[in-house]
């Protein structure tokens, strides 16, 4: 049945795109760096042999699964006369790590790379090169490809806090990331409207913090509410499953535990975490909340360390995201205890207090062998209208080695941050927020995004690790709404991250996108922007 649907989808695609499609050179998303084509195609038999060394067992198994699920091809593992072979070759060299070569001759397909990740990317390219003809025959164009990523950080962020989606949806998203060679799954697991990760030492985080009574509809300006209780959380076992699935797909999962703002769900569970100490409920409304942690309290530090210990035990990621964005300083300013602490320690502004706190957590993470990442608010520059410039400009300097995820503020701040020696992930909101509609961020605008901002001095370019695109969850109670904003823009961001700017071409991207759209629709995902 699945195969039949695939056949129908490809037949429809052929009809829709007409003969012009056949005349186009082979093209995948993200576009490869270098491809030469010979005449003709290689026909893939319905039953074939694939060969790979022991070290590529995981990649070989996934290839067999893709061939079966995508094209109904049965693949057996063998040694001689393989139709597709995967190999590791330490002598290969590419301008960036995780490159690969893919050669399709008249007799076979060969994918080679220095490491398993490169081989995995070659497999993803092969998947997109296979054409299923209307009669069910599968062919691959004869090509020779040398490919490698432009940027090493190609992230997709999923906000499970505002709308809890659960494991199956996350696994599906990881599949689509893998298809597009996106390599960082940034998992936004805690926020005001819901705490989504089981922490054994603090059970109320999920007993209380994972549930809210209703949900504001239409985002923070919305006037109506969905009256249903909303919630859920990931057990440690769920998370282990997600991590194993991501690892097999060469995706690094970076957990985000927000602090000291975006903290209401945790404060609802444990009011002593908050600056006011008052009991609150998990908010049902969106927009920046006032609740912030009392970061002058040793008990709060202990809490953070305990939670980080459980997170670190679960997540192998060398990088832990601590959020750090949108802290309203009102509660700290109004708290005699926080004010006395600042005076005693000679801390001039709330922004300095936040930077010093952030650095303490950064050193704590370093001691545990991890590196901190946060939104660019943690640099202590004023970027929000709700905090006064005097309060929001820090003199204290952010700890070295912190990764700064730039999302808001004057673009000059990127240069300033890079000059200070921080690595940067560019997630500028006007260009990369997937919850924005297609009027705000048309597909073309997403495609034209450059992680390296215009005018950044050449010597600072190496500070830009790459990009993130972010699916915020205030309006994603509906899966359809969520998918319609992810697809197809996620493909544009994938090409931004992978393909060198001089190799990008929007017209051919759009033609190739038709194939991906057909696949997404076939999988039941709503595709937007049409």
Catalytic residues: 191, 262, 326
The β-bridge relationship of strands 47-51 and 153-159 is unpaired
Question: Could you tell me which residues come within 8 angstroms of residue 502 by beta carbon, excluding any fewer than 6 positions away?
Answer: none
Nearer of residues 160 and 326 to ligand ACM, judged by Cβ: 326
Task: Kindly state whether residue 326 participates in binding ligand ACM, applying the rule CB under 6 A.
Answer: yes
Report the relative pairing of strands 153-159 and 184-188 from DSSP bridges.
parallel
Which candidate, 400, 263, 276, 273, places its Cα nearest to that of 327? 263
Q: Which is nearer to ligand ACM, 147 or 258 (CB)?
A: 258
CA pair distance 448, 495, nearest whole angstrom: 10
188 vs 212, beta carbon nearer ligand ACM: 188
Strand partners, 50: 77, 84
Which of positions 182-221 make contact with ligand ACM (CB under 6 A)?
A: none
Residue 375 contacts ligand ACM per CB under 6 A: yes
Location of structure tokens 């054994």: 200
Q: Toward ligand ACM, which CB reaches closer, 436 or 509?
A: 436
State the Cα–Cα distance between residues 246 and 170, nearest whole angstrom: 10
Q: Is 475 in the site for ligand ACM (CB under 6 A)?
A: no
Residue 32 burial (C-beta neighbours within 10 Å; 0-12, 13-18, 19+)? buried
Would you say 41 or 427 has its CB closer to ligand ACM? 427
Nearer to ligand ACM, 124 or 405 (CB): 405
Least Cβ distance, residue 375 to ligand ACM (angstroms): 5
Residue (149 or 468) nearer to ligand ACM, CB: 468
Q: Per CB under 6 A, does 325 bind ligand ACM?
A: yes
The site that binds ligand ACM (CB under 6 A) totals a number of residues, namely 4
Tokens 């094209």: give the residue: 71
The dihedral over CA atoms of 436, 440, 443, 447, expressed in degrees to the nearest 10, equals: -90
Q: How far apart are the first and last CA of the chain?
A: 27
Which residues in the 56-85 window bind ligand ACM by CB under 6 A? Answer: none
CB of 430 to ligand ACM, least distance (A): 11
CA distances to 434, 512, 529 from 438, in Å: 9, 20, 6
Distance CA 105, CA 97 (A): 25
Give least dist CB 301 to ligand ACM, A. Answer: 24
- Cβ proximity to ligand ACM: between 407 and 520 the closer is 407
Task: For residue 460, count CB atoms less than 10 angstroms from its CB and return exposed for 0-12, middle for 13-18, buried for 19 or more.
Answer: middle
Whether the bond into 98 is cis, omega within 30 of 0: no
Angle at 359 between CA 193 and CA 381, to 5 degrees: 75
CB of residue 263 to ligand ACM, shortest distance in Å: 13
258 contributes a contact to ligand ACM by CB under 6 A? no
Classify residue 409 as left (phi > 0), alpha (psi -120 to 50) or beta: left
Whether residue 226 contacts residue 217, with contact meaning beta carbons closer than 8 Å, is answered with: yes
CB of 95 to ligand ACM, least distance (A): 32
Q: Which residue is nearest to ligand ACM (CB)?
A: 325
List the beta strands (DSSP E) in 152-251: 153-159, 184-188, 190-191, 194-195, 211-212, 215-217, 224-226, 230-231
Q: What is the contact surface with ligand ACM in residues (CB under 6 A)?
A: 325-326, 375, 407
């Amino acid at each position: 049945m699945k195969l039949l649907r695939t056949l129908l989808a490809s037949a429809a695609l052929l009809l829709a795109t007409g003969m012009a499609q056949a005349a186009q050179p082979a093209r995948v998303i993200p576009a490869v760096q270098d491809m030469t084509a010979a005449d003709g195609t290689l026909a893939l038999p319905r039953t074939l042999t694939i060969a790979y060394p022991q070290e590529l067992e995981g990649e070989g198994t996934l290839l067999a699964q893709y061939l079966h699920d995508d094209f109904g091809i049965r693949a057996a593992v063998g040694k001689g006369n393989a139709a597709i072979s995967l190999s590791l070759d330490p002598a290969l060299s590419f301008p960036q790590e995780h490159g690969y070569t893919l050669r399709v001759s008249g007799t076979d397909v060969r994918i080679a790379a220095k490491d398993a990740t490169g081989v995995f990317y070659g497999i993803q390219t092969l998947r997109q090169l296979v054409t299923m003809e209307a009669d069910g025959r599968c062919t691959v164009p004869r090509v020779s490809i040398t490919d490698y990523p432009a940027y090493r950080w190609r992230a997709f962020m999923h906000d499970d806090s505002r709308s809890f989606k659960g494991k199956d949806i996350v696994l599906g998203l990881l599949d689509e990331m893998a298809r597009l060679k996106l390599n960082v799954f940034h998992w936004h697991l805690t926020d005001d409207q819901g705490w989504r990760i089981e922490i054994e030492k603090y059970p109320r985080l999920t007993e209380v913090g994972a549930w809210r009574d209703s949900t504001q509809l239409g985002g923070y300006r919305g006037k109506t509410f969905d009256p249903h209780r909303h919630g859920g959380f990931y057990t440690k076992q769920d998370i282990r499953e997600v991590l194993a699935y991501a690892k097999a797909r060469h995706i690094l999962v970076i957990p985000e535990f927000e602090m000291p703002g975006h903290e209401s769900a945790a404060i609802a569970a444990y009011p002593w975490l908050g600056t006011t100490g008052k009991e609150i409920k998990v908010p049902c409304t969106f927009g920046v909340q006032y609740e912030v942690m009392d970061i002058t309290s040793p008990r709060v530090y202990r809490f953070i360390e305990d939670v980080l210990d459980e997170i670190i035990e679960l997540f192998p990621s060398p990088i832990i995201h601590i959020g750090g964005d949108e802290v309203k300083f009102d509660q700290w300013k109004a708290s005699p205890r926080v004010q006395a602490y600042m005076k005693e320690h000679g801390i001039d502004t709330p922004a300095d207090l936040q930077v010093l706190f952030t650095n303490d957590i950064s050193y704590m993470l370093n001691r545990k062998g991890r590196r901190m990442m946060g939104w660019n608010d943690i640099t202590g520059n004023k970027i929000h209208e709700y905090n006064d410039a005097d309060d929001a400009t820090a003199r204290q300097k952010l700890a070295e080695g912190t990764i700064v995820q730039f999302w808001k503020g004057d673009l000059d701040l990127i240069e300033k941050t890079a000059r200070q020696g921080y690595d940067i992930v560019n997630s500028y909101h006007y260009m990369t927020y997937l919850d924005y509609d297609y009027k705000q961020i048309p597909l073309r605008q997403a495609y034209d995004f450059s992680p390296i901002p215009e005018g950044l001095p050449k010597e600072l370019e190496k500070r830009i690790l790459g990009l993130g695109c972010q699916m915020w969850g205030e309006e994603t109670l509906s899966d359809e709404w969520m998918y319609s904003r992810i697809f197809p823009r996620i493909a544009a961001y994938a090409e931004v991250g992978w393909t060198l700017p001089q190799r990008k071409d929007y017209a051919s991207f759009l033609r190739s996108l038709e194939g991906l759209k057909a696949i997404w629709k076939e999988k039941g995902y709503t595709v937007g922007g049409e």
